[in-house]
Structure 1
Amino acid sequence: MLQMINILGPISVITAIGYLFGRSSVRLETQTLSALVILVATPALIFSALTSLNVSLDVIGSMATAAFLCLLISAAIGFLTLKVLGKSIRSFLPTLMFPNSGNMGLPLVILTFGDEGALLGVAYFFIIALAQHSLGLSIYAGSIRVQTLLRQPLIYSIIAVLLVTAFAIPVPQVIVTTTEMLGGMMIPAMLLLLGTSLATLKTSDLGPALVIAVIRLLLGVVSALIVIILLDLRGASAGVVFLLATMPIAIINYVLAERFQYNPEQVAGTVVASTVLTFICLPALVWLALALSKSQFPFSALLVRNGA
């Protein structure tokens, strides 16, 4: 119980502070704060976390592969589900594909698994962030927007990480300290943004939104377990993948839906419903993630058994 309080308490308190700001007359400048997180803090955290802890390319590749497969599985099942339900693919497929691995997921895995969680979580998150700002944007825009991805500092921080890691390039202390300081503001800023956004989103159709929210959670659980088995993930890797895959619908979906005026209030409804549902389920999700991380059962044996 104490462990759960230590993990979930800081997330709930900081999110609540953001929510109170959103409901009060003292408003956070969310557009500026969001731009600061995306353009400065996120690239800095990715570079700082993946270079300072001397992570190997194998670890980066494993977590990136896990993130890509979770996205692929969620996209495939989500597409078929929306077709069966008669829902708009353009409006709701991104909501089923892209979990809130940043605002909510990264703080959660860091509090749950410590420095190792930060390392693994960032290696997973950068794939989600890249996909959100390329594929997600393209779906809402109705056209491919590769040039938008090339303007994101995120992609260049990843290239820098790969170069430093592959060629063992020493990073000057001034860069280490600067990126560590800038990256340190990402987690609290993301949680404040999450709370403020929940307080200010204009929602509609909360009944159907709850259906999408439940599907998102189920897709997260299913895709995570399939990937953990396929890649035979153990320890913190399994727990981190499970938590990040089961996060609620990312707020960036609402931002993009509003930007391109494609059912923004309905998408906002799914974000709110999904976030509330996930908060309710957080103790169970964290417990399952910890159980997966401590399990010594070789998940790949399931595949061997089924194939025998």
Structure 2
Amino acid sequence: MLTALAGALTPILLLICLGFFLGKKTNYLENPSLGALVSNLGLPALLLHSVLSMQMQIFSMLKIIVATTIVLALVSLLSYGFLKLLKLPTRFYLPPLVNPNTGNLGIPVAYALFGAEGMAIAVVISSVVQISHFTLGVGFMSGAYHPKQILKNGPVIALVAGGVLLSLNVSLPAPLMNTMNMLSQITLPIMLMLLGNSISSLTIKESSKINRAMLLSLFRPLVGALCASFVVMWFPLSQLEGAVLIVLSTMPVAVISYMLATKFKGPVDEIALMILLSLPMSLCTVGLLWWLYI
């Protein structure tokens, strides 16, 4: 079992390391259009192709959306109380603790562990978390929220389109599905390399904040796993849906939290450190869950 887990996660770690190396030594991944290409074209294509290929029922999709929303709500409440206990401002610290990196890490991990079916579930979960990034994340860190931001989000649009097609029982032509499949196949490696590139550009200047960052980094995957496990116990999800939800809820702090903290003048160094520390903690937690339950 451990051999299977290592075999599944090793390509993910190698691609992240490759992105880190390319970020340090080259400018191959520096073009901002590459990230926009993945977010606005690759990820929506991946979502639509995955959902439509496995013929996910609209009821199943709605179940996953509701379950993910409940998990995020529970994590928000526990994180809010935890931050109040530590006397830390919720404005900048709550979004990183609530919103995991379900995009350029969670989806590849779900694909590696659970195959195409698991990836289809993961992209639905990730789309819900994307909405949380652009509501809770932007709203808290900026002090204001603009609903129009969601309407510009490619994965969210693809999620709505997929729901409409499923509800109408409409199948897309084979050439269009093949095109989306080709886009999907290049999306995951690029997402992982972009994650490595983002990590390579993080800057940490204040070492005095390491202990607090370590505590928050440990809290993020643990609270996500606990809340997801609780929801799975009481919510009518299939075994696969529950397993994917738990794994994605265990993901580390998202790089987008660093970007938002930079934009809105938050504790950039500390959030950067949280991203670096929560990544191995998250993968170790996933490995433990896989060994114990999956």
Q: 1:267 and 1:233 mapped to 2: Cα distance?
A: 33
Matches of 1:71 and 1:211, distance apart in 2: 20
Q: Deviations over 1:58-101 (max 9, x none)?
A: 21112112211110010010011101101110111001100111
Q: Distance in 2 between matches of 1:61 and 1:120?
A: 11
Which ranges of 4 or more aligned residues in structure 1 deviate by more than 4 Å? none
Residues 231, 253 of structure 1: CA spacing in aligned structure 2 closer, same or farther, 3 A cutoff?
same
Partner of 1:77: 78
Q: Which residue of 1 aligns with 2:278?
A: 274
Moved more, 245-254 or 277-286: 277-286
Residue of structure 2 equivalent to 1:20: 21
Residue 223 (structure 1) aligned with residue 227 (structure 2): yes
Higher mean alpha-carbon deviation, 214-223 vs 245-254, is at 214-223
Task: Output aligned runs, 1:4-153, within 5 Å.
Answer: 4-29=5-30, 31-153=32-154
Contact 1:18 1:193 in 2 (8 A): yes
Provide the C-alpha distance between the structure 2 equivalents of 1:202 and 1:51, rounded to a whole number of angstroms. Answer: 41
> Once the two structures are superposed, what CA deviation does each residue of 1:26-83 show, in whole Å capped at 9, x if it has no partner?
4521532221121111111111111122110121112112211110010010011101
Q: Which residue of 2 aligns with 1:245?
A: 249
Q: 1:67–1:125: 8 Å Cα contact kept in structure 2?
A: no
| Cα-to-partner distance string for 1:197-241 (whole Å, 9 max, x where unaligned) | 122101242221111101112211211111111214342122111
Q: Residue 282 of structure 1: CA displacement?
A: 4.0
Match of 2:260 in 1: 256
Amino acid of the residue matched to residue 172 of structure 1? P
Contact 2:250 2:286 survives alignment (8 Å): no
Report the counterpart of residue 172 of structure 2 in structure 1: 171
Structure 2 CA distance, aligned partners of 1:151 and 1:89? 26
Q: Distance in 2 between matches of 1:23 and 1:250?
A: 20
Q: CA–CA distance in 2 between the matches of 1:208 and 1:125?
A: 27
Kept in 2, the 8 Å contact 1:100–1:249? The answer is yes
Q: Distance in 1 between matches of 2:171 and 2:121?
A: 21
- Once superposed, what is the RMSD of the aligned Cα atoms? 1.7
Q: Distance in 2 between matches of 1:116 and 1:7?
A: 15
Distance 1:157 1:64, change over 3 A: same
Displacement of 1:15 after TM fit? 0.9
Aligned letter for 1:227? V
* Separation in 2, partners of 1:97, 1:268: 16
Does the 8 Å contact 2:251/2:283 carry over to 1? no
Q: Distance in 2 between matches of 1:245 and 1:155?
A: 19
TM-score, scaled relative to structure 1: 0.89
State the SS of the aligned residue for 2:114. helix
- Structure 1 residues 170-222: Cα deviation after superposition (integer angstroms, max 9, x where no partner): 31223212222222222111111111112210124222111110111221121
Which runs of 5 or more structure 2 residues have no equivalent in the other structure?
Answer: none
Deviations 1:141-183 (A, max 9, x none): 1101211111222222122111110011231223212222222
Q: Which runs of 5+ in 1 are unaligned?
A: 293-308
- Contact 1:130–1:154 (Cα < 8 Å) also in 2: no
Query: In 1, distance between residues paired with 2:28 and 2:124?
Result: 33
User: Could you tell which deviates more after superposition, 26-35 or 202-211?
Assistant: 26-35
Show the counterpart of 1:196. 197
Maintained 8 Å contact 1:140/1:260: yes
